[in-house]
């Protein structure tokens, strides 16, 4: 019996798509068709090891044009495999040292503290939008990218658009494409300015590193490719605004976590809270690659050129790995050493050699720094729509999470408060 192409179902069902496919199978992997191609779906730590082995699966051939034109960029590190990928990845890893990550977190928390001081005078704050602007400001300072206050809002909006539009057709997708074209052209110009000496960038900054990076053949990156990779540093950093908003959502829905986070003395609970936010809330539903040759997975055949999907959402909610996985409980990470193949919200394996996101320490570091600040902040939550639709990829809090800082006047239309059950685990 021919396999049904489920591409339309993916677009309609969002995060429910893979759970539905698993319910329809009784084997160790799902067989389906996606974008006209035979696809298999794997999950579990052994599947992560299998998927991130370059001798089994390569990522570049599986990246569809719409994702290259929105999220990653054409010619990006994500479009490379094996030696070429490792060489380009080295540039990213050189910028992800503990000292560099701490500097990025420091720039962002300084921007956050300055912004929070202005909140009472501004009335209600949409946290998602504010977090995006603050992180954009901090990330650009860290990266050596010159940015005026007036430019911050439009740049933050473009960076958010690139992430927000990768997972669906329609207006969000076309906004993402336009934002990418606009920002690649802008950053390519800055790279050219650095190379000809018209702009001074600190030697250790991301802008300077990208401008002087050379490929294995000794050639520098084309300005547009350097711009693509700069966006692949700044864009995922700004995407942490999704997690910051999810963190506020968790603090509101489970108030005990706010108390524990506010009283956290040694940072252990803050780290555990950051991991639980990334595990619990929906972001990437899966990652995809192509089989490089005929393979066998737990006795079942995978033919060369089949799509291979790794079920990120399913693994992060697997009861074999996470007891009571639909409960938000940061304590599950207290004293637990996280291996490279179990918690995979940003991929699995070794980031230095594989396709795991090298910026994962940035996401964790920013959440560790910003979530306690939220927990200690005096604010109320006006009535609003705090649902998180499982049918929207990437998912986000419907209202953006509106908060009212102490001392600010509440607009009449947002008076009152409610604490809805979080709609993130309906499957």
Q: What residues form the annotated binding site for heme?
A: 357
Dig out the tokens for 151 from the structure: 């430019």
State how far the Cα of 314 lies from the Cα of 427, in Å rounded to an integer: 11
Q: Which residues of 174-195 are buried (b: 16+ CB within 10 A; e: fewer)?
A: ebbeebbeebbebbbebbebbe
36 by DSSP, 3-state: which?
A: coil
Can the peptide bond before residue 394 be classed as cis, meaning omega within 30 degrees of 0?
yes
How many angstroms separate the CA atoms of 227 and 230, rounded?
Answer: 5
Q: Is the dihedral of CA 232, 238, 239, 243 positive or negative?
A: positive
Q: Which DSSP category does 166 fall into? A: T
Residue 12: CB atoms within 10 A of its CB come to: 11
SS3 53: coil
Count of positions (residues) in the chain: 427
Non-local CB neighbours of 46 within 8 Å, separated by 6+ positions: 341
Please, which residues have CB within 8 angstroms of residue 317's CB and are 6 or more apart in sequence? 279, 325, 326, 425
Q: Distance between alpha carbon 247 and the CA centroid of its chain, in Å?
A: 14
Binding residues: 357
Per-residue b or e along 125-145, where b marks 16 or more CB atoms closer than 10 Å to that residue's CB? bbbbbbbbbbbbbbbbbbbbb
Instruction: For residue 153, give Cα distances in angstroms to 119, 132, 158, 332.
Output: 16, 9, 9, 37
Q: Are 221 and 84 in contact (CB under 8 A)?
A: no
Q: Which residue has the tokens 């986000």?
A: 396
| DSSP state letter for 69 | I
């Amino acid at each position: 019996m021919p396999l049904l192409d489920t591409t339309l179902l993916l677009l309609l069902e969002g995060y429910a798509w893979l759970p539905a496919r698993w319910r329809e199978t009784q084997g160790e992997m799902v067989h389906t068709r996606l974008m006209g191609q035979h696809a298999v779906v794997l999950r579990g730590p052994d599947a992560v090891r299998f998927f991130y082995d370059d001798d089994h699966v390569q990522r570049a051939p599986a990246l569809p044009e719409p994702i290259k034109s929105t999220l990653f960029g054409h010619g990006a590190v994500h479009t490379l495999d094996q030696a070429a990928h490792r060489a380009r990845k080295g540039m990213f890893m050189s910028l992800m040292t503990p000292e560099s990550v701490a500097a990025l977190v420091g720039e962002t928390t300084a921007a956050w503290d300055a912004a929070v001081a202005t909140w009472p005078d501004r009335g209600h704050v949409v946290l998602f939008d504010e977090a995006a602007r603050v992180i954009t400001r901090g990330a650009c300072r860290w990266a050596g990218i010159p940015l005026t206050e007036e430019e911050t809002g439009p740049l933050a909006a473009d960076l958010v658009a690139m992430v927000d539009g990768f997972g669906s057709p329609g207006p969000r997708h076309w906004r993402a494409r336009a934002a990418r074209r606009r920002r690649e052209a802008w950053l390519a110009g800055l790279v050219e300015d650095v190379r000809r000496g018209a702009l001074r960038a600190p030697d250790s900054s991301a802008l300077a590193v990208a401008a002087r990076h050379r490929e294995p053949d000794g050639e520098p990156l084309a300005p547009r490719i350097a711009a693509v990779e700069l966006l692949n540093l700044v864009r995922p950093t700004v995407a942490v605004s999704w997690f910051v908003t999810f963190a506020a959502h968790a603090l509101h829905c489970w108030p005990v976590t706010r108390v524990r986070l506010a009283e956290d003395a040694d940072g252990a609970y803050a780290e555990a809270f950051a991991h639980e936010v990334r595990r619990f809330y929906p972001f990437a539903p899966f990652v995809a690659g192509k089989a490089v040759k005929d393979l066998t997975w737990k006795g079942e055949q995978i033919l060369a050129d089949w799509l291979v999907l790794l079920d990120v959402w399913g693994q992060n909610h697997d009861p074999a790995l996470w007891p009571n996985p639909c409960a938000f409980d940061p304590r599950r990470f207290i004293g637990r050493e996280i291996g490279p193949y179990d918690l995979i919200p940003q991929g699995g394996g070794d980031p230095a050699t594989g396709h795991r996101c090298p910026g994962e320490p940035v996401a964790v570091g920013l959440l560790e720094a910003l979530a306690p600040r939220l927990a200690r902040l005096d604010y109320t939550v006006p009535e609003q729509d705090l649902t998180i639709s499982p049918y929207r990829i990437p998912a986000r809090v419907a209202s953006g999470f509106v908060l009212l800082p102490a001392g600010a006047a509440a607009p009449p239309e947002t008076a009152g408060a409610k604490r809805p059950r979080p709609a993130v685990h309906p499957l």
